[in-house]
Amino acid sequence: MPYGFRDRDDVALSPLVAGVHKSLKRDTLPGNYLKSIGRWIHGRGYGFYEVDPTTGMPGSIHAIGVSHEFLDIYETVRNDDPLLQQIRSSNRPCLINLPEKSADVTSDFLTVFHDERLGSYMLGPVVVDRQLVATLNFARALNDPPFTRTDLRKLQVACLHVSRAYALCLDAEKTRREREYYRQALDEAPYALYLTRRSSDDSEQILFKNRLAVQADARDYVPVMVGKDARVNYQVREPGNETEVSVRSVKIDHDHEIWAHFLVEQVNARLSTEAQLFLTRREKELIECLIQGFDNKTISNILCISPHTVKQHFRNLFDKFSVHTRTELVARVLAASHLDSMGKQQDTPNG
């Protein structure tokens, strides 16, 4: 328990700690905070105001207990907030008991609070890497007891927990972005890749497949089991086909039996030699998906392109093959592939 607080305060702090630290995304943190802060610090209005750390400009606003009119007007005078200016220079919580409304009061900032009948105001910083990223705002009504130094110490505790939770959310966002970069990079790899976990019963659970691996699954390809070695090269036959596929498997995590399987050689060159000369890589991928019977939405997900781009590719393919329908396109491709294979067999000298 923080120094200076009584044991019963621990019960009031627990919901706040649990609420903010269960947030894994920045967009859920303000809501979880506002749901739990009321038991720790009593007030009429609570706010979570985000700030752009690079420009200092106001960001998203999350608040409860005050009117929408107050929020709209306060936003226009926010830069005149004396507590915000103090926080920007000190990064410490601060409070102010507002003077009563009188003819001498000309500050727009004070007028906003007087119109909302607020008499005491407190502000705390949310700091990550020494940069102000948000403020925690508190207000009490005119007829409520004003904020005290005890409330200020409580606010400091809240700021520490929210700052830590905010930093964890930023770290999680960075990790998600990096994973997406890795996934996109792996999707552009010229081979199919599977990540699998080998269980105690010698079965393998597929954890990840890149784009070409998804296409390989459409051909009913499944990685074969590997031995105890950390690096294995082997050949498998594609189901329903005599073509051998070269596979390389590498154990990348010995403690958790995580394997990476690479299809070094692509299976089933379905296109004729002539067709491969004037087709782009993307068009070849589309034809392969089309042969598997995938619709536009599935193809767009596999190739990570928009449905509109899929349609445009098909229009180009229709022109290149002089066809009008997908059925005609598949028939033309398969027929060309069959004739090409027959020609290769005839060119091969007899043994």
pLDDT tens column, 275-314: 555 677 788 888 888 877 788 888 888 888 888 999 998 9
Ranges of each domain in the chain: 7-179, 192-263, 273-346
- DSSP letters for 14-31: HHHHHHHHT--STTTHHH
Domain spanning 7-179, CATH architecture: 2-Layer Sandwich (3.30)
Label residues 202-220 b or e (16+ Cβ within 10 Å = b).
eebeeeebbbbbbbbebbe
> Where is pLDDT greater, at 47 or 326?
47
Cβ neighbour number for residue 165 with a 10 Å cutoff: 22
Write down the pTM of the prediction: 0.60
Q: Give the HSE-up count for residue 239: Cα atoms under 13 Å, Cβ half-sphere.
A: 9
Residue 119 contacts residue 98 (beta carbons within 8 Å): yes
7-179 and 273-346 share one CATH topology?
Answer: no
CA–CA distances in Å: residue 211 to residues 10, 261, 276: 51, 14, 20
Q: Which CATH number fits domain 273-346: 1.10.10.10, 3.40.1390.40, 3.40.220.10, 1.10.490.10?
A: 1.10.10.10
Rg (CA), the chain: 32
Average pLDDT in the 84-110 region? Answer: 79
